[in-house]
Every structure is written in C-alpha cells, then in structure tokens.
Amino acid sequence: MFLTISATGTTGKPATDLGFLLHKHPGKAQRFSTSHGTAHVFYPEATAERCTAALLLEVDPVALVRRGQGKGRGGAPDAALAQYVNDRPYAASSLLAVALSAVFRTALKGVCAARPELPGRPLPLRVEIPALPARGGAELVHRLFGPLGWESVRTEPVALDERFPEWGDSRYVRLVLEGELKLDDALRQLYVLLPVLDDAKHYWIAPDEVDKLLRAGDGWLAGHPEHALITARYLARHKRLTQNALERLELARLAEADGSEVEELDNAVDESRDTEDRPVPLAVRRRDAILAALRDAGAARVLDLGCGQGQLLQALLKDASFTEVVGVDVSMRALGTAAKRLRLERMGERQSSRVRLLQGSLAYTDKRLAGYDAAVLSEVIEHLDLPRLPALEYAVFGAARPRTVLVTTPNVEYNVRWESLPAGRVRHRDHRFEWTREEFRTWAGQVAERYGYGVAHLPVGDDDPEVGPPTQMAVFTRATGTETTGTTETTGTTRTPKEGEAA
C-alpha cells in the first residue's frame, strides 16, 4: 500500500516545509510499527522546488488473518485461501488510512509546533495513490474528491492483468489529486475517503467511529453533496451509527449557518431601547441572569449544554465557586471557537482542570453528563425540531438528571418590539420554533411533572407590560429523593412569575 504527497516550492516557501508539516525529517527514512504491519515514511525527493513524502505500509497478512480481520466483508469460513490471498497488502485501503492517522497524527490535527504559521497556509500539493480500490469506480472517485477544492482529480483505470487486456479493468484506479490545499485538510479527506472507496472496513465499528468521522470531516463533510454515502460507507452501513452521524452533520450544518446573527439582533434591540449610558446587550443580561440563578442554586459543577462559542463558559470560569465547567455542543466549529476564546491551549494546569469541551448531540443520552449540579440550556431548545425535543428532555432531565436545569428561550410575543424583525419572522433562521410565555410554561410544566422537577419562571431583559420580556427563563429544581431515572410518577409544580419579578 502506497501513497505519496508532494509539495511544490514557491519563492520564500521551500517545498521542504512539507517535512515540518508532516513532522518527519526529509533526510531520514523512518519506520513505525502499526497494528497491521510496518509503515515506512521516506522522501524520494526533497529540494526547495519539490518535495515528496512517501508512505508505504507493509501489511502482515498472517497477522491480519489471526486478528480475524483479513476477510473483508462477510468472508465465508470455507474461503480459507482467500484469507491469505487477498488484496489487503497491496491496495490503498482503510489500513492505509489507519497508518496515515497513526504516522501523521499531529499533521492531521493541523498543528506544527516548530512552525506554527505553516498549517494555516494552503500549499501546492499533489497526492498520488497508484492502486486505490474503488468500489463504485472512477466515477465515484470523482464525485467524492471533485467537490473538495482540488484543481484536478485524475483517475486511470488499472488493468486486471496487463497481459490480458480483454479481461478488462480491475476495481482499482490510479488516483492523482492536484491543487492548493492545506495539508491537514488533504490528510483528513484521505483518512475518511480511502476506507469509503474501499468499502470493506477491516475493523470493528465502535461507537466512537462517529466521533472520528466527524472530527476528520470537520469543515468539509457536512456540506459535501455525497455526505450520506460517505457516512454510510465509513460506518460500514451500521444503521444506528449512520443515523446518529447524519443527524449530527445536519445540526453542524445548521450551526455553521448560525453565529453572530442572534447576538447582533440582541444587541441592536437593547441599543434602541436603552439610550442612556452604555446599553447592556440582551446576551449579557441573559448570561448575568444565568450566573445569578446558578449561584442561587449553589451549583459548583455545571454543564453548559449547547455552549456555542463559549461566552457563558468564560464567565463561569471567572467565578471560583464554579469548580467544574463542561461545555457540550454538536458543532465542532463552535467548540473550536470556544477553545480559542478560553485559550484552552495556554491555560495553566489548575484552570484547565476546571474546564472541558465535549462534542455530542443533546438528542442522545450521554453517560459523560451524569452527576453534575446544574445544566444550562441557553437559547438551545428552539434549535431542535419539535419532534426531537422529547429526546433532549429525556437525555437531560431523565438521564443526566442534574439537581438544577436552567432553560432560556426567546419569548415570541416580544418580537413585535424588534424593529429590525419583519412581522411573523423568528429571530434566527435556525430557530425551529419560538414560544409565547404560555407555550413555554406549558412545556416546562409537563417536563417538570414527567421527570420529577419543580419549576419557576423568570423574565430576562426588560419585562414589557404588554408582551413580556425578550427572553424567558425556566429554573427547574429536582424534587429531593429522585436522584435516579424513572421518576415519571412524581409531580412537579409550576410557579408563575409574580408581577414585576426581576431577572
């Protein structure tokens, strides 16, 4: 199994920078032992003009068979010979992808300590794979690599046997990709698409494959026209995992369309209403209200569910009474921004032991979320389709079950006060719904009752006498003695806000 990556140099940017990016010195040939054989990395050429790194994986077919992984899809027990005589050692397949991630792990992450400016730069790259197994043929290869920013995607059929042209082509193609891409983007594409084209994943598909796929697919998979095929094949057509991944991609797509819009609108409104001194943006008032409610509840270990770009996490970390702070979001991009905002990489050990960022969908129960004092869902529920909401309710109130849950959501009645908002429009294009105060109270009351919580409602922002406050907040408190799940019998209480009750 063989793959080469070449870079062309330009003035002031020698091609040998590739060696820095790959963390492999061009002057050395190196060997790495991987779970399936020995990987070799060497540079057939390394000049300022052109530098080529080669990755060769020498697969140990006997070891593969012993591990029960040489059969490919559905190998029959009587196909004993096929176990030893198969294409695994020669074709660029999922094994090569695994070797790629093992040998070039740091490069895949787009990190280069020696030359931090390098990974951010697109390079004139050329990737060549002489024997790429392609179930679906050259046509599929083009459909997969075509939309990914390469200037040229070339495939040549590989004959089954050159001595007998009448036998036709094998299922292999020679692939050459050329274009200006960032190296980590190119590597992450290969990491996903080699096994997808091979379509015979050699290892057991574990649930964390979804995370691996989404990590490697960050920035290109969600918007890829073939994302459904890529996802299904990568996960070996495992139904539940594929569905989970597709859903998370869908959410990631929506979250990417997200961003500053909400806050801009929030800021705009408050500015028009509060002209004296410096106006306090609604987003800030919301955060202050959340912090106050968390302190009231005496919470020390806090989950920020749907943490977005981490503004609340940052505020939580400034207060030492919050001893552990965990941000969860479905969007890798949002988490990346949050990590930067918090300066996670430069944080001292003591600080960094207080904070964690997790990727995950709130529509699935997640063991990592159990045992916290409080969970915040700030402007998150309205991003879920209504039919998905019960899944989130179960995951948060039924499974994670913190003592306190804070939920904020827009009050749709207030929308008439937003001058920049056309009548009948929601505040953000990704909002699936926006509720009146009555609708929110009804929902909160039902959730509280089903899961054994009491609930109080608080306004956030100026409480307009006619239409109420711009943001509404529900504070759920778990009834004592109902720490575990399955408390569907317990009755919650709903407290309606008293007139003039402040946030």
Rounded Cα distance between 50 and 17, Å, is 10
Side-chain-facing half-sphere of 107: CA atoms under 13 Å: 24
Out of 186, 363, 374, 455, point to the residue binding ligand SAH (CB under 6 A).
363
384 binds ligand SAH (CB under 6 A): yes
Would you say how long the chain is, in residues?
Answer: 503
Which of 306-332 are b and which e, b meaning 16 or more Cβ less than 10 Å from the residue's Cβ? bbbbbbbbbbbbeeeebeebbbbbbbb
Nearest to 328 by CA among 387, 257, 255: 255
- Rounded to the nearest angstrom, the gap between the alpha carbon of residue 466 and the centroid of all alpha carbons in its chain is 41
Task: Please check whether residue 290 is in contact with residue 303, taking contact to mean a CB–CB distance below 8 angstroms.
Answer: no
Q: Which is nearer to ligand SAH, 198 or 393 (CB)?
A: 393
Out of 4, 378, 415, 472, point to the residue binding ligand SAH (CB under 6 A).
378
- Residue 472 tokens, joined: 């509404």
* Window of 14-22, 304-312, 393-401, 452-460 that interacts with ligand SAH by CB under 6 A: 304-312
Nearest to 182 by CA among 132, 109, 235: 109
Nearest distance from C-beta of residue 380 to ligand SAH, angstroms: 4
* Window of 341-349, 374-382, 464-472, 483-491 that interacts with ligand SAH by CB under 6 A: 374-382
Nearest distance from C-beta of residue 27 to ligand SAH, angstroms: 45
Nearest to 190 by CA among 56, 47, 4: 4
Q: Which is nearer to ligand SAH, 383 or 450 (CB)?
A: 383
Q: Which is nearer to ligand SAH, 93 or 244 (CB)?
A: 244
339 binds ligand SAH (CB under 6 A): no
Nearest distance from C-beta of residue 264 to ligand SAH, angstroms: 12
Please report which helix (H) or strand (E) contains residue 84, including its range.
Answer: helix 80-84
Rounded Cα distance between 186 and 168, Å, is 31
289 binds ligand SAH (CB under 6 A): no
379 binds ligand SAH (CB under 6 A): yes
Q: Which is nearer to ligand SAH, 119 or 308 (CB)?
A: 308
Nearest distance from C-beta of residue 59 to ligand SAH, angstroms: 39
Number of residues that bind ligand SAH (CB under 6 A): 18
Q: Which is nearer to ligand SAH, 71 or 427 (CB)?
A: 427
Q: Which residue, judged by CB position, is nearest to ligand SAH in the bound state?
A: 308
380 binds ligand SAH (CB under 6 A): yes
Q: Which is nearer to ligand SAH, 141 or 338 (CB)?
A: 338
* Window of 236-244, 328-336, 450-458, 466-474 that interacts with ligand SAH by CB under 6 A: 328-336
Nearest to 112 by CA among 124, 121, 125: 121
* Window of 153-161, 209-217, 303-311, 478-486 that interacts with ligand SAH by CB under 6 A: 303-311
155 binds ligand SAH (CB under 6 A): no
Q: Helix H segments across 311-359?
A: 311-317, 332-342, 349-352
Nearest distance from C-beta of residue 276 to ligand SAH, angstroms: 26
3 binds ligand SAH (CB under 6 A): no
Task: Please check whether residue 294 is in contact with residue 374, taking contact to mean a CB–CB distance below 8 angstroms.
Answer: yes
Q: Which is nearer to ligand SAH, 60 or 434 (CB)?
A: 434
Task: Please check whether residue 365 is in contact with residue 394, taking contact to mean a CB–CB distance below 8 angstroms.
Answer: yes
* Window of 7-15, 138-146, 306-314, 470-478 that interacts with ligand SAH by CB under 6 A: 306-314
Nearest distance from C-beta of residue 258 to ligand SAH, angstroms: 6
Task: Please check whether residue 344 is in contact with residue 314, taking contact to mean a CB–CB distance below 8 angstroms.
Answer: no
Q: Which is nearer to ligand SAH, 269 or 363 (CB)?
A: 363
Rounded Cα distance between 448 and 477, Å, is 9
Nearest distance from C-beta of residue 193 to ligand SAH, angstroms: 25
Out of 17, 128, 258, 413, point to the residue binding ligand SAH (CB under 6 A).
258
Which of 131-157 are b and which e, b meaning 16 or more Cβ less than 10 Å from the residue's Cβ? bbbbeeebebbebbbeebbbeebbbee
Nearest to 382 by CA among 333, 308, 444, 435: 435
Rounded Cα distance between 214 and 30, Å, is 30
Nearest to 40 by CA among 24, 23, 59, 56: 56
330 binds ligand SAH (CB under 6 A): yes
Q: Which is nearer to ligand SAH, 24 or 427 (CB)?
A: 427
Out of 83, 155, 231, 361, point to the residue binding ligand SAH (CB under 6 A).
361
Q: Taking CA 177 as the corner, what is the angle to CA 171 and CA 182, rounded to the nearest 5 degrees?
A: 135
Out of 98, 221, 251, 316, point to the residue binding ligand SAH (CB under 6 A).
251
Q: Which is nearer to ligand SAH, 197 or 307 (CB)?
A: 307
Q: Which is nearer to ligand SAH, 6 or 311 (CB)?
A: 311
Task: Please check whether residue 4 is in contact with residue 127, taking contact to mean a CB–CB distance below 8 angstroms.
Answer: yes
255 binds ligand SAH (CB under 6 A): yes
Residues that bind ligand SAH (CB under 6 A): 251, 255, 258, 306-308, 329-331, 334, 361-363, 378-380, 383-384
